[in-house]
Structure 1
């Protein structure tokens, strides 16, 4: 099995970028009426500030 050509590699990369862009826009459109606090703590167990501090402390 050989390596794809330069043009085929670029086509795969840009089609993947396009798919992620469309998927991100679709998710954003679906969640556009949700408040920021609800989005950040969607499981309703933490408010936004502790969630953000946990994210920072995890080193991600």
Structure 2
């Protein structure tokens, strides 16, 4: 199987970005009436702060450059 051209690769990437944008906007529109606390603990197991501490303790901030 051959390597796709640059134009084909870009088309696949941007169509995927577009699909994620559409799905994200749809989910945000559907959940627009939730409060902040309902959204942070939507699985009803943890609140926002313990969830953030778990994220930090998991080492994700060490592996990425996006954490402060």
Runs of 4+ in 1 over 4 A off after TM superposition: none
Aligned length: 60
Q: What are the ranges of 5 or more consecutive residues in structure 1 without an aligned counterpart?
A: none
Between the two structures, name the one with larger relative contact order (CA 8 Å, sep ≥ 6).
Answer: 1
Q: Cα RMSD over matched residues? A: 1.1
TM-score by length of 1: 0.86
> What are the equivalent positions in structure 2 for 1:1-60 lying under 5 Å apart?
1-60=1-60
Residues 11-50 of structure 1: CA distance to partner in whole angstroms, max 9, x if unpaired?
A: 1111011011111111111111111111111121222211
TM-score by length of 2: 0.78
